Amino acid sequence: MIRTLAYVIIILIGLCLSPYLIGHSGYVYIAAGDYQIETSLVFAVFGLILFFSLLQVAEWLIVFILNVFLSSRYLPEKWRKQAAKKHTLIGALALAEEDWAIAEKAMVKGAEKGEIPALNLFAAARAAHHQNKIELRDEYLERVTNEPKTETAALTTKTRYLMQQGDFETAKACLAKLNPTSRSKVPVLQLAKDLYLKQKDWQSLKLLLPILSKKKILDSNELETLTCETNQALIREATCVSEAELDKRWHWLSKAEKNHPRTFILYVMGLCRYQRKPDAIKLMSKHIKSGLTNELLMSLPNIINADDQGIRKQLEQFAMQHEQDAVYHECMAKLAQQTRDVKQAKLHWQSVCSIEPSTDAWLALAQIHEQLGDNPNAMHCYRKAAKSEK
């Protein structure tokens, strides 16, 4: 507009100056109906400039009036938005101070005309949860779902609150709606892991473990510990259900998982429970060939008996290798007691007391001396047991 006005002014100035340049003042005659106007060119030019200026002023005045009218019409809406910002700020400060009552009230007010209502409602739900207002908390989270792209966040938050509340069954129902898969976000998978552990839902946790490994949610040590705990719990549960269930869950495991000492021992004990001791002995014999572990040595006396000579011969082959291993000597001592070989049991218990003395070891050696009629040494061992700190 300003550029156009400048062009018009330049043109008009040229028109005004042109008569003087050519030595003529110019003449303008205007006729409109019964009206006639005669004037010089200079006066006509000034009149045209004045008319254009008045027209521009009128335009500005009309635009100003329209702006005032429209702004006054939407002014209450602006006031509401400003009030919502104020309430949101008050709520945020109250949350930082953990003043839950004020935070809840302010955030709910701020959600009515706030720029991001979902943020206010999540904060209000958190404040209500800390005040143990369960119904209001769930109401706020339900309102959040009306906002776009908030359903997953609302369900995740509700599941977490239900877990903290101790309502694991309802939490599991909410988690089912989230459907944890490899495409789920990390918070959902972490939540699923925690809930399955709380409920001891080992089958669901077993299915979740590969996803946790793929997403690298847990470090290698944590993942290994959780995997072993899950596998052992599955075998332990199956042992109490049926023989078929025990075999089914055993075949779920990978070769590396089957070779874990504690998991292997639980399966072998399960086989013995269902009168499948020959299978258990066969598996143990094969396992011993790959080496001895403390878990295996500690459990052997509870699995085999005096008739299982093959296992004993295998263990005797490790005598030199485990000469300074207290667990090995303790295992051999208990196995010797099964066959009533008191002298051999005495030698092994003496080795245990020499390598890693403990109250139980001294008591076991004292009983062996009593069986042999060696009461002075038996009393000596009892005194050692009384003074032992283990």
Q: What are the structure tokens assigned to 356, written together?
A: 């890693």
pLDDT at 168: 92
pLDDT at 195: 94
Q: Is the pTM value of this prediction over 0.95?
A: no
In the three-class reduction of DSSP (H, G, I as helix; E, B as strand; rest coil), residue 1 is classed as: coil
pLDDT at 203: 92
**How many Cβ atoms from other residues are within 10 Å of residue 344's Cβ?**
15
Inside any domain, residue 31: yes
Inside any domain, residue 327: yes
- End residue of a domain, out of 73, 90, 119: 73
- Burial tier of 72 (Cβ tally within 10 Å: 0-12, 13-18, 19+): exposed
Q: Which amino acid is at 263?
A: T
Ranges of residues in the chain with a pLDDT under 50 are 21
- End residue of a domain, out of 73, 89, 115: 73
Provide the domain limits for residue 366: 319-390
The DSSP bridge partners found for residue 39 are 28
Among 336, 345, 383, smallest CA distance to 365 is for 345
- End residue of a domain, out of 44, 73, 102: 73
Alpha helices in 117-260 (DSSP H): 117-130, 134-144, 151-165, 168-178, 186-199, 202-215, 220-241, 243-252, 255-258
Inside any domain, residue 132: no
Per-residue pLDDT reduced to its tens digit, 66-122: 776 666 555 566 767 777 788 888 888 998 898 999 999 999 888 887 788 888 999
Inside any domain, residue 346: yes
For the chain, how many structural domains are there in total? Answer: 2
Inside any domain, residue 329: yes
CA distance 136 to 105: 11
